[in-house]
Structures are given as C-alpha cells and as structure tokens.
Structure 1
Amino acid sequence: MDTKQLTDDQFPSDVKDLQRLVASLQSQVEQQAHSVLELKNHNDKLESENVDLQLRVDKLLQQLFGRRSERRTDGEGQLFLDLGDEATPEVVSALEEAVREAEQVIEDAEEEQKKRKSKSLIKNDRKFPEHLPRIERIIDLPEDRREGLKLIGYDEVETLEWIRPELRVRVNKYAKYVHPANQNQGITSPERPTGLVQGDRFDTSVGVEVVAWKYFYHLPFYRQQDLFAGSGWTPSRSTLANIETAVEFTLRPLAEHLRSLLKTDTCVGCDDTGVVLITPRTMPDLSNHPRGERISEVFAKAIDSGKPSIRANFWGYYASRLPVVAFDFTVSRHRDGPDDVLGDYEGTLIGDCWSGFQKIGVRSDSRITLAACWAHARRKVDECRSAFPIQVAKLESLIRMLYDIEDQIKELGDAERLARRRSLSSHVLGQIDEYLASDQMSSPKVLPKSNLGQAAAYICRHREALGRFIDDAGIPIDNNDCEQLMKRVATGRKNWLFKGSLSAGERAANLMTIIGTAIRNDLDVHAYLEDVLRRALVGETNWAAMSPHTWRESHPESIREYRQDERRQAADRKRIRRARRRRIKK
C-alpha cells in the first residue's frame, strides 16, 4: 500500500492493517532521517574541504602576491597582552622596565631624527667622493660675447661618468740565455710563476670577475659573455667554466678551512633548498668520493628510469657567533648531508623540525642537540589567520612577546640574557602552553585535523626543542639568519637555473662558502678574492690568515661600511617600532 496516496476515507479500519501502516510510515521516516543525516555529514565534509581549500588558496596567494617580509602588523583581532595575572613580582618588574625602556628608545630616536634633519640642512650640496679622479672642462661664452665683460669665477657642476671596463693583454717576455762556449748546457730562463690556468693565459683578475659575477651578482655565463664582449673579448661558455673550475680548485682548501672553523661555534643554523641537477648519461667514477654509495644509488635510479634531471639540494650553515657561513651540495634531500658535514660537530643545531633533524641527537650519540625555530612555528599559525582570526591573534601576540623580550635583552651579556630568558621568556612559554590546552584551542572550536589544529600539534610535539633557547644564551630564538643566507642560492637559481654535473654543484658550494663568508664580513668581494687568489697561487697555505674575518683586520679600506650602516638603521627602526608597541601596552 502506497501511504503517500491515502486519503481520510482510505485508512484501514482493521487494527492489524493500521499497525502495518504505522510500521511502514515509521520505516519511511527512519529512511528519510538517515538520508538527512547522510546529507548533513556530506555537507559538513564539503564545508571542511572548502575551508581547507580556501586556506590553501590564501597561502598560495600570499606566496605569489603577498609581502615577503615577516614583519607583523597590528590588524583586526590583534591582541595586546600583559604577562598575566599570575606573573611573579620579578616578571611584573621586568614588564615595567620594558615600558620605561620603550619610552627612552622613542625619546632617543626622536632626538636623533632632529639631529639628522639639522645636519641635512647644513650640508645640502653633497659632492661625489674626493678620491674619484676629476677631469675639469671649462665651458665659456663665445669670444664675441665676452667683449667688455670681466670674469669673476665659475659655477662648478659635478657630473659622474661611467667608463666601460677595459680589457688589456699583458705580454710577459721571458728572457732566454745560452752559454756561448757550451751550448749543450741548454737554455736558461727566469722561473715562471704558477698561473691560474695552463699557459698563464688568464690573470687572477679575470678569474675573480667570472666567479664574482656568477655567485655575487648571480650572472650566468651567457650574460657574462655579453659583458666581456662589450669590452672587446667574447669568450666561449666552456672557457668561462674552465676559469671557474681553476679558481675553485685553487681556493678549495680555504672553503674546507671555513667549514672546519664554523664547527667550532657552539650553535649552528642549517637550512636547505632544492636545485635541478642534470642526470648524467653514464655513471661517473665515484670510487674515491666520500658519498659515492649514496650518489650512485640516486644516479642509477634516475638513469634507469630515464629521468632527464633530479632534484638535488644546497645546504646552508650559519654560525651563530662566529662570522662564518658554509654551503654543501648533495644529490638528494637525504639526512646524510648534515650528518656528513656535522660528523665531528659538538653543539646545538638550530633548524626546522624536518624528520632528518629530529633524530640527529640519537644518530650523533648526543653530540648534537636540536633547537627548533620559532619562526617556523609562527608561520604555521599565521597561515590559519583567515579561518581562526581570534585564536591566531592570541597565539601570535604571545609569540611576538617572546621576540620583544629578545629585542630587550639583545645587548646584554650572556649571564644576564640567560637570566631574563629563564624568567620572562619561560613565563610566556607557560602562557602559550596554557592557551594551547584551553577550550579555545580544543574541539569543536579547533578540530585536530584543521590547519590550526595541526599547527598547535606541531608546537606541542616539538615543545622541548622550541624551548631549548631558554637554557642557553648562545642559541637564537629562530633560524632566520640562515634562511636569509639561502636566498643567495634562490636568487642564483633563478638565473643559472640548474647544475650540469655533480662536480659543478660541489664547486658552487665551495665558492659560495668563500663569497658568502666575505659578504657576512661586509667585504669588497672583488678585492678579497683577488688578494687571496694571488697568495694561494704563489703557494701560501695560511688559510686562517686568509679567512675573511681575519683578512678584514689588515684591509679596513675594503670594508663596506654602508652595509653596516644599513643594518644598524634597520635594527633601529625595528627597535623603535617595538618600543612604540610596548608603550601602547602601558
């Protein structure tokens, strides 16, 4: 019986028929309820997927079109926090001191700004540096217009000119002598110095230009051809590659020394980025290579599968206190890269919580301790801002407070900085732990599989490593310095696109180690490279004396002071910005 077609006069009068009708209606209601429940579950699933996809879209849009700086600005929902009602007197006193310090920082900044303005008003006719050569040209009136006039002086206008680099060929004539009475003694000639390449065809200055153009200015060889051609010489790309190879071979011991020096620091940052490596047509001879087994495995797999290229890796290492950086090249993102470079290292490694880093303490027999990076944790939280604005605002405010504390104690000695971290930073970390365990961060408000749920799980899972900076004044709160270092690889990669061979990648790592360390020491890269390259070619092996931080002491004229000024001004702006924020909290 179709219950949908029943009218009032069609209802059965028999009790059993009525019971059957009721049972049928009940079954239909249950089926409809089940269908509604299924539709609701499906709708909830679609909404969850929609939120997840929207977060991914927002993240991609931020990566493509958003600002690259990680500076946090105050937006809707952003919180200004104190240190909590349960703060100890020491913590409260520190907060009050921070506000007083903020007032002083702002007052000093305003006074400095007034001084700069007054100086700029006094010195308004800026001239070019005095050491630059000057060619005077007198521009006078025509002779017929000067009649009856008296010359009273000249108005000087300085115009800077650029002259294209000039190439020249130095012809070395080595005298040859023979003994006139006994020609069997052969020819006697002056001893010839070791050249950069066989036959001494290229001076060290050419080698320095090739290397600096590629790894300092990020110019690939085909662009270098145009630059050299503009000066009258058009080298082949293979010639430029041979010159690069000769420079790297000469300075390779210097790169190895810098890597060894880096490992004497108590804390080292590590980060990595990918690069395309062309798959070799045949397996190279790796019998004497220290990583031959792993490289052979990767190459064999790529050759057998017919892959034209593989994803190799550059690794960057940044000493926290020593002015040294280092690079390494591997054919894959395998943990044997850091394990090999840090094989004899004893100290703290700071980086992200990549699986290869998480167990490095076990693999190194506790020689190495991992400290996690708060910048990585903050990024994971920030990606969830559109879906969870209140929770993200709270968490980012707490994380920002950690950075404010670091800003306040930056100039203090190790002992006092460590004491502040153990009191102030430890208190803030406790507040972060409490908030992550609160109802605001629990289901159903934040589901475990949501982006914010996963970000919170990341912080909780790596809480010990994230809090390691509390117990050591030499450990930075994040790995941003090393990440900035890796931008040099990313910028170069956009220009030279790929590495053609294993040896090319290893050469690049050695040259970037030397150039990167010179940049960290604010050196004129050309002047530094040319001096150490000439010294290495004549046989000097005192690599410690040729290290950038030592070399700069005897070459103050090659220090780029404007880079130091730029960093100082950027640091001052950051301190003032944070000081104004602390003053608002008062």
Structure 2
Amino acid sequence: MQLKIRALEIAQAKRVKQDDEAQQYLHIEHAESVCVHSDEDCDDQANQDEEVPKIPSSSTKRKGKKRIGIEEKLKGLPVIRETVRIPREVEASPDQWEEIGEVVTEEVLVIPTKLGRHLIRSKKYRNKEDRTSAPIIAKAPIRFSSSYVSSSLAIYIVLSKYLDHSTLYRLEKKFERMGLEMTRQSQSDAVQRMSEWLRPLYEFMDKRAKSSGYLQIDETFIRYINGNKPGVGQGYFWAIHAPGQSIVLKWINNRRHENVETLVDDFSGILQSDGYAAYGNYAEQHPDITLAACWAHTFRRFRDALEHEPAHAKSMMKLISKLYKLEEKWDLGDVSPSKRKLLRQTESIPIAKEIKNKLDGYAVDMTIPKNDFRVALNYTANQWPELLECLKHGHTRLDTNLLESKFRPTKIGAKNWMFIGHPDAGQKSAVIYSLLQTCTIHNINPYDYLTDVLAKLIPHDGRPPETILEQLLPQNWSN
C-alpha cells in the first residue's frame, strides 16, 4: 500500500523549473519578529503570548458595582403591609411575659398594574332670572388628547416600548388582560401625541446642546417600511451628544453627507466623530469647526488585526490602553479639566508620540501585506491630527463610546419591533429616545420626569416659554 501511495505521489508531482543562476535568490517572508525602527519592537515576538490589552467599552469612567445590604436596597420602597407575629404562649398568658425586642424580616410585594377611569364632570348652569340666556359650563381643561388616552396611560405605553422594548402587539394583549381594548393603532397615536407635546422641549434641548462648544456625533441604521416600495428601506438615527448634558437624536432616511449640516447647523467648537468622511468634509468647509477623532475606533482596528499580526497589533493596543489608564486615574481623582489639560501634555502626549513613531516605522516596512493590520495603520495615520486633538484639551473625551452606548436601546428595541412603520414615523421615536436617554445620563426616573414635564407643558397648549423649558431640561430638573 505504501508503495502504491508513493507511486501516485510521484505521478502527480510537477516538474520544478530550474533556478536561473543569473538571478539572485531572494526570499523575504514577513514574520512577527520584523523590526523596523527600534530595539523595543524586537521584543514583539516574545510578547505574543501576553494578554490582549483592553480599554473601557462605554466610558473612561469605570466604577465597580458596590455590594449593598438588604435594608439599604429596600429602603426606598414604601411599607404597604405590616404583620406583627406574637408567640402563642404570650397570646395565651400576656401578663406573664415582657417584650424585650423584635426580629424584623422584609420581603418585596408586587401590586399588579391596574387601569381605572378618571371622571371629569363639567357642570352646566342656567340663569334663574334670565331664562333666555344661554347655559354656561365650566371651561374644559387642556388635556393630553381629545380621546380617552391620559398622559399617564401614554407614559406607560412609551416606557414599555422604548425602555422595556415591548411591542405594541404585546401591549395590546396586556391591556386586554387588564380589561381595556386598546388597538395598536390607538397606542401608536398616543406615542405620536407624546412626541408632539415633548417637541418644544426636544428642540430647546437641541439648541442648548449646540451651544456647548463640544459635541460628539454618530449615526446608526434602522430599517423602515416605505409604502411606495416593496420590502424595507434603511434609515438612520443621527445623534449629537453634549457630554454630561444631553443626547439629541434625529431621524433621516438616508446617510448623505449633506445631513451633517442639518445636525450641527449653528454649532461652532470641537466636533468628535469616527472616521466617516461626511464629518471631515463638513469640518473642512467650516473653519469654526475643529474635528476630533475616536481612540476607541482606532483600538478596535488593531484588535481586528490580531489574527494577522498578533505581536504588532498588541504592541499598538498596549500603548493606546496606557492612555485610557491615565484617564481612569484622573477620573478617580476627580481632576478638573484645566489640570487634566496639563497632565495630558506631560503624560499622554509622550505616549502619543511613541505611537506616531511606530506608525512612521511601519509605513516604510513594505513587507507588511495588505491585511487588517495594514488597514489599521492606514486608518490611524489618516486620523492622526484628529486623534491628537483629543489630547490638546481638558474637557474632551478619548472616544465616542458614551454616545454609542446611548444607541444600544434603539438596536435592542429593533430586535422586537423590527422596523420603523413609516418613513415619517421615525422622528417621533427620535424625540422620545432623546428625552429618555438624557434621563439616563442624569440618573433620573423617566416616569417621574415625564409625569412632571407633561403636567407643566400641557397647560401651555404646546407653546411654553423658554423659562419653563430651561427648568424642564433633564440637567436642570429636580423632582
């Protein structure tokens, strides 16, 4: 059998062409031990087995989850039932016993959601003396809607859909169990009405964000149904984020470059983004815009290159992670923006220069093939002025991860409701997402917030003064 296999190998073997002695034999194979500009890189091969460097996934501020006791955990809940247990011996002969203390045990009770009616009785009167005069009736109050939908019912629907990611179909079934027949269309109308009441506050929040002088910008796709064409189209939630203040989403059914003008019109200052060319083109045409890039996107590029060039990719990732470790230390120390600016000049900029030296060295290494590592190098080199811009200030962040984290609810929700039902329906979701996600920035209970906001907006019939809107901004609101 071995002889037959060997015979088959010889029969299938190709004749090797004789090397031309006139040509110099040259064999170059790019290996992980290639060194192009410093002795430090020669240690890359030895570092291949090191743990892959990491950076924070959503923020430069990482806080460990603190364990709290049961009493601390439940102290915010009201006591709705109290049971006193007395031993049988004491009940039988109470005069023989003296109370010396108690053991308290707590458990959490659930009161199921209930629906009820609010009766608004507007009394009618007529003049006893002048029977010819018309009857009078108490002036009707301005209500959330002209139908049976109250603001509390609308808030329940909105929070179920946009925070709990439930579908209107499931809510329809839930309302049936609670004794109310409310169709999906009626629920959708309530969501639309909610966005109309919140729109003045949403537009004012957008205006305030643009006056901050520092914005992050990004976009994410969401499918939508286009009634004029079969199937679904691809629209986008575009967002601007004023760190520490607010996030404002806008719905646009395309990704054209000119949309940036709509998003940041009247803004001047630092605009931080990923490498999408639309933002760079806009900054070039507007001298009052300074473009900053995202170090997290750069880090991910090198992480994607680990399969092709593990040692070199880890080397770059390690340097970037050093920048994040410095930021984490300063965050824990509650360093002011002015002091952070100085610290970045003395500690972060030298690390950035080391990264740039590596970039320049890799640029002349023609043995690196066109793989993901080369793509990461080109991306970083093209974004370098914008990446360096992040380190020139004290109030800027290294990345746009905080903004991206606020997009997650839109993606989780889309897994349930799948798509926007109509091209014109996306903006109402953008308005509501903007307010709810800004509430998460400021650790505000969205139910309490929307209840108070609607109570103050509705009496103005959609035309509240700016003084009221200023007070109702999530960053200024207090319950």
Residue type of the partner of 1:406?
E
For 1:71-110, what per-residue CA distance to the aligned partner results, in whole angstroms no more than 9, with x for missing partners? xxx9823599xxxxxxxxxxxxxxxxxxxxxxxxxxxx9x
For 1:51-81, what per-residue CA distance to the aligned partner results, in whole angstroms no more than 9, with x for missing partners? xxxxxxxxxxxxxxxxxxxxxxx9823599x
Q: Does 1:548 align with 2:471?
A: no
Shift of 1:417: 1.8
Matches of 1:274 and 1:178, distance apart in 2: 60
Instruction: Indicate conservation of the 8 Å contact 1:360/1:369, yes or no.
Output: no
1:344 to 226, 248, 266: 266
Residue type of the partner of 2:261?
D
Matches of 1:125 and 1:325, distance apart in 2: 35
Shift of 1:543: 0.9
Matches of 1:79 and 1:519, distance apart in 2: 31
Shift of 1:267: 1.3
Q: Does 1:137 align with 2:63?
A: no
For 1:271-300, what per-residue CA distance to the aligned partner results, in whole angstroms no more than 9, with x for missing partners? 21111110123xxxxxxxxxxxxxxxxxxx
Written as runs of structure 1 = structure 2, the 5 A alignment for 1:412-491 is 412-438=335-361, 442-444=365-367, 446-447=368-369, 449-491=370-412
**Counterpart of 1:18?**
none
Tell me: CA distance 1:137–1:151, structure 2 relative to 1, closer, same or farther (3 Å). farther
Tell me: CA distance 1:409–1:125, structure 2 relative to 1, closer, same or farther (3 Å). closer
The secondary structure found in structure 2 opposite 1:386 is: coil
Tell me: CA distance 1:433–1:158, structure 2 relative to 1, closer, same or farther (3 Å). closer
Q: Does 1:177 align with 2:98?
A: no
Residue type of the partner of 2:139?
E
The secondary structure found in structure 2 opposite 1:359 is: helix
Tell me: CA distance 1:134–1:77, structure 2 relative to 1, closer, same or farther (3 Å). closer
**Counterpart of 1:316?**
239
Tell me: CA distance 1:551–1:124, structure 2 relative to 1, closer, same or farther (3 Å). closer
TM-score, with normalisation over the residues of structure 1?
A: 0.66
Tell me: CA distance 1:146–1:507, structure 2 relative to 1, closer, same or farther (3 Å). same
Shift of 1:138: 4.7
**Counterpart of 2:282?**
360
Tell me: CA distance 1:187–1:524, structure 2 relative to 1, closer, same or farther (3 Å). same
TM-score, with normalisation over the residues of structure 2?
A: 0.80
Instruction: Indicate conservation of the 8 Å contact 2:48/2:310, yes or no.
Output: no
**Counterpart of 2:153?**
206
Matches of 2:298 and 2:388, distance apart in 1: 12
**Counterpart of 1:92?**
none
Written as runs of structure 1 = structure 2, the 5 A alignment for 1:232-311 is 232-281=179-228, 303=229, 307-311=230-234
Matches of 2:142 and 2:234, distance apart in 1: 38
Identify unmatched segments of 5+ residues in structure 2.
Answer: 1-13, 20-27, 31-46, 54-62
Instruction: Indicate conservation of the 8 Å contact 1:313/1:332, yes or no.
Output: yes
Instruction: Indicate conservation of the 8 Å contact 1:328/1:509, yes or no.
Output: yes
Shift of 1:126: 6.4
Tell me: CA distance 1:156–1:343, structure 2 relative to 1, closer, same or farther (3 Å). closer
Q: 127-136 or 225-234, which moves further after superposition? A: 127-136
Richer in helix (by share): 1
Matches of 2:475 and 2:76, distance apart in 1: 28
Residue type of the partner of 1:546?
L
Instruction: Indicate conservation of the 8 Å contact 1:266/1:474, yes or no.
Output: no
Q: CA RMSD in A?
A: 3.3
Shift of 1:146: 4.9
Instruction: Indicate conservation of the 8 Å contact 1:469/1:476, yes or no.
Output: yes
Tell me: CA distance 1:394–1:249, structure 2 relative to 1, closer, same or farther (3 Å). same
Instruction: Indicate conservation of the 8 Å contact 1:353/1:372, yes or no.
Output: yes
Matches of 1:195 and 1:472, distance apart in 2: 48
Residue type of the partner of 1:175?
K
Instruction: Indicate conservation of the 8 Å contact 1:373/1:478, yes or no.
Output: yes
Shift of 1:166: 1.8
Instruction: Indicate conservation of the 8 Å contact 1:271/1:486, yes or no.
Output: no
Instruction: Indicate conservation of the 8 Å contact 2:219/2:239, yes or no.
Output: yes
Instruction: Indicate conservation of the 8 Å contact 2:226/2:423, yes or no.
Output: no
1:504 to 425, 435, 450: 425
Residue type of the partner of 2:406?
L
Residue type of the partner of 1:197?
S
**Counterpart of 1:530?**
451
Identify unmatched segments of 5+ residues in structure 1.
Answer: 1-28, 35-43, 49-73, 81-108, 282-302, 556-586
Tell me: CA distance 1:407–1:133, structure 2 relative to 1, closer, same or farther (3 Å). closer
Instruction: Indicate conservation of the 8 Å contact 1:263/1:345, yes or no.
Output: yes
**Counterpart of 2:325?**
404
Written as runs of structure 1 = structure 2, the 5 A alignment for 1:142-181 is 146=92, 155-181=103-129
Matches of 2:387 and 2:52, distance apart in 1: 23
The secondary structure found in structure 1 opposite 2:471 is: coil
For 1:376-426, what per-residue CA distance to the aligned partner results, in whole angstroms no more than 9, with x for missing partners? 011000111122121012111111112222233443333332222223222
The secondary structure found in structure 2 opposite 1:194 is: coil
Percent same amino acid at aligned positions?
A: 19
Written as runs of structure 1 = structure 2, the 5 A alignment for 1:558-573 is none
Tell me: CA distance 1:503–1:149, structure 2 relative to 1, closer, same or farther (3 Å). same
Tell me: CA distance 1:131–1:277, structure 2 relative to 1, closer, same or farther (3 Å). closer
Q: Which entry has the higher C-alpha Rg, 1 or 2?
A: 1
**Counterpart of 2:253?**
331
